[in-house]
Structure formats: C-alpha cells, structure tokens
Amino acid sequence: MTEFDVAVIGAGPAGLAASIEAARRGCRVLLMDSNLRPGGQLVKQIHKFFGSKEHRAGTRGIDIAVGLHREALEAGVVFWPDTSVYGVFPGGALGAVRGMLGGEPRGVVVRASTLILATGASENAVNFPGWTLPGVMGAGAAQTMINVERVLPGRKVLMVGSGNVGLIVSYQLMQAGADVEAVVEALPRVGGYGVHAAKISRAGVPILTSHTVLRAFGETEITGAEIARIDESWTPVPGTSRRVDADLICIAAGLRPYARLAMLAGCRMTYSSALGGWLPLHDRAMRTSVPGVYVAGDVGGVEEASTALEEGRIAGISASERLGMIGAADAARDREEAEARLSSLRMGPFGRPRYDAKEAIYEEGANACPRP
C-alpha cells in the first residue's frame, strides 16, 4: 500500500498541470499514466500552438510536454509511468497495475484521499463496410505513427473528417511524405480552423464537403475507398460515387471524454453534445459530484491542450484547498486567474459554443458538486 495526498491519473497537459499546482502547495502528489512517457497527446503535436503568449503560442506541443514534466518533478511530484489504474474503491483506494509494458506486471494499491481524473479522450469511429480492415485507423493513430514512431502508415491517404484533427494530421502526413488524395467532410462546411484548411488546400488537397466514405476496398489490407456526395439528409446522391485509391484511410470524427474511471468512482454523468458526449458533471472549481474527486481536461469535455492545462491548474488548486494546504480565499483567488485565462481561450466562433456548454455544465454542477 502506498499513500499520497493526491493521486492524479493521466499525465497529459491537464494531469501534469494539476500535479504541479498541488505539489507546489505542499501536497504529496502521485501522478500515474498508462504510457511509458508523460505528455499525453502533446508528445505527437509537432505544430506550433497559437493563441496568446501565456498559452505558449509558437511552442510545439512536444516541447510543452517536456517542460511540464520537468516542472512537475521539480515540484516534488512522484511520477509512475506504465501504470494502469483499473479500479476506484470506496475510501480512496485505487487498484493499479505497474509494468505492463516494460518488465514484470505487478498489482499495487494506492491510497489517496483526493483524486484528480485527467484521463483525456478517445477517438470516435465511423462505421462503413471495410472499416475493420488493416489500413483504416484513427487519425490520431496515424499521427502517433508519423510523429512519435516516425513510420509512415500509408502513402496514399483518404482523410475522413475535416475538423482540426483531420486537417492537422493531413498536413502532417504530407510533411511525413504521404499524398493526401482527399479530405471528405459529411457536413456542408469545413469543420476546423481556416488556417489549417488553407495549408492543405494550398498544397492541392481537395476538401470535399457534403461527402462521405461508403466503403473500403481490399481483402487483407485496404486498396481504396468509395466516396460519394450526400444530400441534406445525409443520403448518398446517386451517380456521384467514385473510387479513390488509398492504402490508408484515417478517421477523424471527433473525440469523446474517456470517462470510465469517473463512472467507476461514482461521479454523476451529464451529456453535452458540444463537449463530445457523456462526461462527469463538475463545477467551476473542477469538483465532481463525489467529494474528493476532481476532473480536468478532455475527460470533463473535449476541448484543447491549452484549456486542459488551465483546468488542470484549477483542479490542483481545489485539491490543495480540500487538503487544507491553502485557505478558501487564496484558493478562490488562484482559481480566478486560471478561470480568466480559460474564458479567453473559449472565445471566437469555435470557442464560444464550448464556453456556453461549459457554463451550462458549471451551472448544473454548482448544486450537485459538494464544496469542501
């Protein structure tokens, strides 16, 4: 049995930030991640972030991850990589397996009175005949292969989905040496930022709105796909289908909160279409309906790395408050600073719907999430 004040699950931007804030306020913090290296999805972000300086605009995600990890260790955070938490038990005990990826797997029980869940999100899938064939994968999977493993998963690519993930991964696949044959988007408009769409459009990649993939061709690996125009009711328009040769079909159909541990912990769940689906209800201080359990980052609603980081800070401050490391007034003041930065990130045509959705969650959570 290992005992800590705060257990943080997930070492992406949210979990790292939460750990840093809690450790700096005197909490004994254990940060766990199922992967071998910290950083979550930051490690495959090789594009420069934009926004304001305080949100590390101009810095590549991979460098942000290295910096946060160093800050966490300097603050005294204990980091356990290769640790999969499988159970949340009453009374603050966690069941975990360490060493599944390297060495001998062994079970451990971790005791911590305060829990911060920063488990992130998982990619949505799109089902079509042939979608289980090798060569069809999540856009995030392709991104991991090219940017982390530096192996090209295909040379001729069909990208399904034109949100920011679809657009950015298309561009990064081209940087890695692949040809992107087309991006298909079921909606009548491009989903992601214009700046990302322009980059691939300039390079000659057609972004086909009101189009979808009907099937993938191939026996043991894909050889191509059939795409077609769809009408307002998402029905393929007869006579518009055509074949695209491809050895890689990437699915970029959005993300959903990866909230299994939150459910295990007994957190009340709520649904938000704008934030990716079912998520643990929480208030502005990132408290859930279960006393001592906090959330931060995509698990509490899919947004972006910079918002995850700020939510992590807030959760770390709230955990410190609960443990008596800081008073209520100090905690409120510290949170306010992060909240102001969060609001500035939730502006504009893409940010505003997330701002509204988050405010609705906070409002619902205000009554359901007990204060310390």
Provide the binding-site residues for another protein, judged by CB under 8 A.
Answer: 34-36, 46-47, 60, 101-102, 122-123, 125, 131-138, 140-142, 144-147, 149-153, 155, 175-177, 220-221, 258, 260
State the sign of the Cα–Cα–Cα–Cα dihedral 99, 100, 101, 104: positive
Q: Which lies closer to another protein via its Cβ, residue 34 or residue 212?
A: 34
Q: Which lies closer to another protein via its Cβ, residue 177 or residue 239?
A: 177
Distances (CA, A) of 208 to 97, 196, 236: 45, 15, 14
Please state the closest distance from residue 258 (CB atom) to another protein, in A.
Answer: 8
* Structural tokens at position 332: 């409120």
Distance CA 196, CA 180 (A): 14
Assess contact for 160 and 251: CB atoms under 8 A. yes
Please state the closest distance from residue 271 (CB atom) to another protein, in A.
Answer: 15
Distance CA 278, CA 273 (A): 8
Q: Which lies closer to another protein via its Cβ, residue 65 or residue 137?
A: 137
Assess contact for 16 and 73: CB atoms under 8 A. no
DSSP character for 317? Answer: H
Distance CA 357, CA 142 (A): 30
Please state the closest distance from residue 193 (CB atom) to another protein, in A.
Answer: 19
Question: Which one-letter amino acid corresponds to residue 259?
Answer: A
State the sign of the Cα–Cα–Cα–Cα dihedral 89, 314, 36, 72: negative
Please state the closest distance from residue 10 (CB atom) to another protein, in A.
Answer: 12
Question: Which one-letter amino acid corresponds to residue 42?
Answer: L
Question: Which one-letter amino acid corresponds to residue 281?
Answer: L
Q: Which lies closer to another protein via its Cβ, residue 122 or residue 241?
A: 122
Please state the closest distance from residue 221 (CB atom) to another protein, in A.
Answer: 5
Question: Which one-letter amino acid corresponds to residue 167?
Answer: L
Q: Which lies closer to another protein via its Cβ, residue 132 or residue 235?
A: 132
Q: Which lies closer to another protein via its Cβ, residue 257 or residue 316?
A: 257
Please state the closest distance from residue 132 (CB atom) to another protein, in A.
Answer: 5
Please state the closest distance from residue 348 (CB atom) to another protein, in A.
Answer: 26
Question: Which one-letter amino acid corresponds to residue 175?
Answer: Q
Q: Which lies closer to another protein via its Cβ, residue 64 or residue 230?
A: 64
